[in-house]
Structure 1
Amino acid sequence: MSEFFGPLDSEGRVPPLQQTRVATFLISAHGALARQSAFTLPTRLESAWQTELNAQLFRETEIVSLLMRATSWAPDPGLGYMVATWESAWFPQPVYEISDWPLAVAIGLATLAHAVHAGIRPAALLPAEANPEDPFAMALRRIEFESGRLLEAQILSLKGPDLVPFRDAVNSALERRHAEVRKLWRETLQSVGVAFDE
């Protein structure tokens, strides 16, 4: 088992099976964030966190679209069960201790988004000899860049003054989401021969 994607082909590209499985995982996670953002977003923005949610919706959609086009897809019979497991893991988990229901749902979404953007760093798994002009490699680097930007907004949301009375509940929800995402990402990488770096 290696710490990086590969072995790369003669043109420095990640093998199609690894691309397929990793891209499917990322599309599942970012697609769930896009869907939940769309359903959580009101028709009229009335607070700052809703503005950030609007931006997240379109960035997550961009990530999904980019991966669909940049990936060299290969048949993968094992994906059916894995996708079902991933999709069920992304189900909304509102922070029930927050009495303002739209805010409780949005904070639950923010905990998932924080876990995905902080815990999944796929470009770090590209070997130094990976072709920098390969669309898949470029897509992974773009995802990391966007994740960093989105992470800043989630940190501000999760540390906002409105949540001070609910700090313990929010921290607990965040820890649960991080553990869940980390476990699924580790299993996905191990399934394609990549060692997960703790």
Structure 2
Amino acid sequence: MSGFLGPLDFDSRIPRRQQTRVATFLISAHGALARQFAFTLPMRLDAAWQTELNAQFYRESEIVSLLMRATSWIPDLALGYMAASWETAWLPAPIDGIADPRLAQAVHLATLAHAVHAGIRPAALLPVEANAQDPFVMALRRIEFESSRLLQAQILFLKGEDLAPYRDAVSAALEQRHDSVRKLWRETLASIGVDAPGTE
């Protein structure tokens, strides 16, 4: 397997099958985050960390919208069962030691978002000779740039004073999420002949 997407076509573009599968995985992950941010947002913001939920909801939605338009799609029958396993993986899981359901949901979202933004580096898969003007290439680079910005918000929340009494539970949940996301990302890339860098 190669560590990069390709081989590139005659226009130095990423093969459409690889675009389709990578984009579908990213849309599943960021779409799940957008949905869960939307459902977590209260009608009235009464805590400082809730304002960041609002901002992250819109950024995740923009990532999904960008991928929908920038990807050169082809039919892929395998995506049915693959997407089902991804969507199941994004669901909230109980967090031992946090009884407040609102706080537990916020921790779930922050750990999932941290794992997605830190563990998935799509631009690292692009070969240097990839067409820099290709919309898909530009989209992957934009997503990685946005992920690095979004990651800071998750770090601030997960290390904040509100979660100080639950530090061990948060650390365990974060590690579990990272393992799950890395596994799914590796499997997705392996299915298109790509060896994910930096996931071992």
CA distance in 2, matches of 1:135, 1:156: 32
Q: TM-score, normalised by structure 1?
A: 0.98
Which residue is 2:47 aligned to? 47
Letter aligned with residue 9 of structure 1: D
Q: What is the RMSD computed on CA atoms of the aligned residues?
A: 0.8
2-structure distance, mates of 1:114, 1:94: 17
Aligned mates of 2:66, 2:139 — CA distance in 1: 7
| C-alpha distance in 1 between matches for 2:106 and 2:131 | 39
Q: In the alignment, which residue of structure 2 is the partner of 1:172?
A: 172
Q: Which AA in structure 1 matches 2:105?
A: V
Cα deviation for residue 189 of structure 1 reads 0.3
Cα shift readout 1:100-143 (whole Å, capped 9, x = no counterpart): 22111111110000000000000000000000000000000000
Q: Does 1:95 align with 2:95?
A: yes
Distance 1:28 1:73 in 2: 15
Q: Could you report, residue by residue, the CA deviation over 1:46-105 in whole angstroms, capped at 9, with x for unpaired residues? A: 111101110110000000000000000011111111000000000012534223221111
Q: Give 1:169's aligned amino acid.
A: A
The Cα offsets for residues 150-187 of structure 1, whole Å up to 9 and x where unpaired, read as 10000000001011110000000000000000000000
**1:31 is matched with which residue?**
31
Which residue of structure 1 lines up, in the alignment, with residue 11 of structure 2? 11
8 Å CA contact retained: 1:67, 1:136 = yes
5+ residue gaps, structure 2: none
Q: Match for residue 61 of structure 2?
A: 61
Match of 2:76 in 1: 76
**Residues 125, 196 of structure 2: 8 Å contact kept:** no
**Contact between 1:96 and 1:104, CA under 8 Å: does it hold in 2?**
no
Instruction: Indicate the SS of the match to 1:62.
Output: helix
Residues paired across the two proteins, number: 198
Structure 1, gaps ≥5 residues long: none
Contact 1:94 1:107 in 2 (8 A): no
Identity %: 74
> Does the residue aligned with 2:74 lie in a helix, a strand or coil?
coil
The list of structure 1 runs, each at least 4 consecutive aligned residues, that deviate by more than 6 angstroms after superposition, is none
